[in-house]
Amino acid sequence: MTLAACLGLGILLPVRADEKPDASPWTFDPILRLLGADLGVGYRGLALLPNEQTTFWVYAGGGYEGMHYYRDKYGNLLSPGEIGAGGSLANFDPSFTRIEGAWRLGIEQGFAWNERTATNLFEAFFFYRGRYDLNQLPSGTPLTTALSVLPDGNESILNTLQLGLAYDDLLFEKKHKTKNGISAEATAEWGPGFLFNTIMGNSDFIRFNGTFQWFHFLYDLAPDQPTNVFSLYLGEYFSADYAIGLNGKQVPLYIRQSFGGRIQNVGLGDSVRGVDKGGYDTNLKAVNNIELRANLPAIFLPDLVPGVVVFFDAGLYDQVGEPGISSPGSGFVAGTGAGVYIDVLDLGSLAAYVEYRLDSANAEGDRLRIFVIEFGMHF
């Protein structure tokens, strides 16, 4: 309640803080993927409010990535073991590849400056977002049949308008690679049919999302050393997402398989480690990740820092509001495990996990997954 009140007050009455130091009017936001990248270019040379930071953004990028679809031709979610040996759909391969291009244009307006983190403490933002997806499907397979019933199963163009509020008091300590503080964001995203969303696909929907991150510094063995020796911190990430199809339309596959917000993270099947990647792509979903991270001694360079992570993930899903589903599903999923990672020059991280699903077996009948690679930390 306090956070919501502060965000609302920030819109009505900009809060004056210490003046920001002079800086270049240009800022850049590179987002790397395993096979692809996005680049954001921001301009801060024009302030819409006195003594507050305004950023005008342009983003563009694309990628090539492996995807999965864990539903049958009727739209039902696959059950545990259903596509494993001896299952009713034992010949069902859920894997396909997707070529994507994405772009966005928008503005972020700050209402108070955070001297501790050198970012806006409170801000509002508005973005136009666009993307093109081309799904490369194997011909004549059960997966092709399952995806062909979707308006966007083969390819789609998706255009949306997004409005949101954000709070940021999250500090990254660059020397020893720890985080401390909180950040939060609330967004509404609208993809109306008239915004060219019926050219490829047939979309008309609105999505609401709330995201919260919290990190707590625990220990640093040698805080005065110029490079990390051993440091420890705790992190938590929560996101809830609800998409509603309008005028009898289905929610697009990309929306179901992702969480909303400015950074649109992977859906429930990727956010809960140990669970089928791309699974449980439902209109309503929520995830909570908890991690304990231990940074180990830097190797060769101060900004080449390995570490160990232990995690517990949980989530819920519900096919509420999805039309034409004969047996709509809902429930909880959970997974736990551990991994190793390396932070590379503050540009990104590479992590490898051992994951174990707790609530049930996956659609292929497995629970344990070894050496699962992620490009970047989970959150």
The pLDDT tens digits for 190-206 are: 999 999 999 999 999 99
Closest CA to 333 of 363, 370, 374, 292: 363
Q: What is the DSSP string of 30-57?
A: EEEETTEEEEEEEE-S--SSTTS-EEEE
The pLDDT tens digits for 147-161 are: 988 999 999 999 999
What CA–CA distances, in Å, run from 318 to 80, 150, 245, 283, 330? 16, 19, 14, 7, 4
User: Can you give the pLDDT at residue 265?
Assistant: 84
Q: What is the mean pLDDT of residues 273-298?
A: 97
Average pLDDT, the chain: 91
User: Can you give the pLDDT at residue 61?
Assistant: 96
Judged against a pLDDT cut of 60, whether residue 12 lies above it is answered with no
Place of tokens 């929306």: 255
CATH annotation of 2-375: 2.40.160
User: Can you give the pLDDT at residue 220?
Assistant: 96
The pLDDT tens digits for 22-35 are: 578 999 999 888 78
Amino acid sitting at position 37: A
Judged against a pLDDT cut of 90, whether residue 267 lies above it is answered with yes
